[in-house]
């Protein structure tokens, strides 16, 4: 239960910190943080939580990460359902808190896209479904590859959280224009629920399928590259 609570809080922070920066600060007149600021915000949520809860739950914060670690032989299958539920619920609560904040603005008329992930007309850069699918698979593959590598027993200790957070920052710098960057089904689900128009729920399938496929491939590849037991 302690692990699940940690995953709940961690994913809440990822959504509130990352998506919150996109919704509240990215487009602020003159002082907006833009794509670079949003990318850093997502990376910083992972860095801060890696050192806060990594020793409790492993700091997955993402169903694709849990699945990829399982495929890589680092996580027990029996723990997958609990972790995934905790992550999705944490993300939804984080999005709910963000909604309450956004709706408190004096001229509030709606949340719009609410930093939801999308393709086609809902892609920031107008990229189609194929481009979105390739992007999410490849970016999640790299994310899990870095996670598996930096947390290996033979890797330098204490630097994993920083490397993983920086990797997520780079992933966002590359892929925000394509899909608004998911690589995380919990993050996608939380925003899709609150986004206006219903389109985000209709496209949500891609942001579950692609990250999980990328994570599974990464788990299999890294397990074969590094077959020795991870202590």
CATH number at residue 109: 1.20.1080.10
How many structural domains compose the chain? 1
Domain-located, residue 154: yes
Domain-located, residue 230: no
Domain-located, residue 146: yes
Residue 231 has pLDDT above 60, yes or no: no
The pLDDT tens digits of the residues spanning 89-145 come to 999 999 999 999 999 999 899 999 999 999 999 999 999 999 999 999 999 999 999
The pLDDT tens digits of the residues spanning 211-225 come to 999 999 999 999 988
Domain-located, residue 64: yes
Q: Are 59 and 33 in contact (CB under 8 A)?
A: no
Domain-located, residue 231: no
Domain-located, residue 40: yes
Nearest 5°: CA angle at 210, between 198 and 48? 90
Which structural domain, as residue segments, surrounds residue 184? 2-225
This prediction's pTM: 0.94
Q: Report the 10 Å Cβ neighbour count for 167.
A: 22
Contacts with 134 (C-beta within 8 Å, 6 or more apart), sequence order: none
């Amino acid at each position: 239960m302690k692990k699940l609570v940690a995953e709940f809080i961690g994913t809440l922070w990822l959504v509130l910190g990352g998506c919150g920066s996109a919704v509240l600060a990215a487009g602020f007149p003159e002082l907006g943080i833009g794509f670079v600021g949003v990318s850093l915000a997502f990376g910083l949520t992972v860095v801060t939580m890696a050192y806060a809860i990594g020793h409790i739950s492993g700091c997955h914060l993402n169903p694709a990460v849990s699945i990829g670690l399982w495929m890589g032989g680092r996580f027990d299958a029996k723990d997958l359902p609990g972790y995934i539920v905790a992550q999705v619920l944490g993300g939804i609560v984080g999005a709910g808190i963000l909604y309450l904040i956004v709706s408190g603005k004096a001229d509030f008329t709606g949340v719009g896209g609410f930093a939801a992930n999308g393709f086609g007309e809902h892609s920031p850069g107008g990229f189609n479904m194929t481009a979105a699918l390739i992007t999410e698979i490849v970016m999640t593959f790299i994310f899990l590859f870095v996670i598996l590598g930096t947390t290996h027993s033979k890797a330098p200790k204490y630097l994993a959280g920083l490397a993983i957070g920086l990797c997520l920052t780079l992933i966002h710098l590359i892929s925000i224009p394509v899909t608004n960057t998911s690589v995380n089904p919990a993050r996608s689900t939380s925003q899709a629920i609150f986004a206006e128009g219903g389109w985000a729920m209709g496209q949500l399938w891609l942001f579950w399928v692609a990250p999980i496929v990328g994570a599974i491939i990464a788990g299999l590849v890294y397990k074969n590259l590094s077959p020795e037991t991870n202590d």
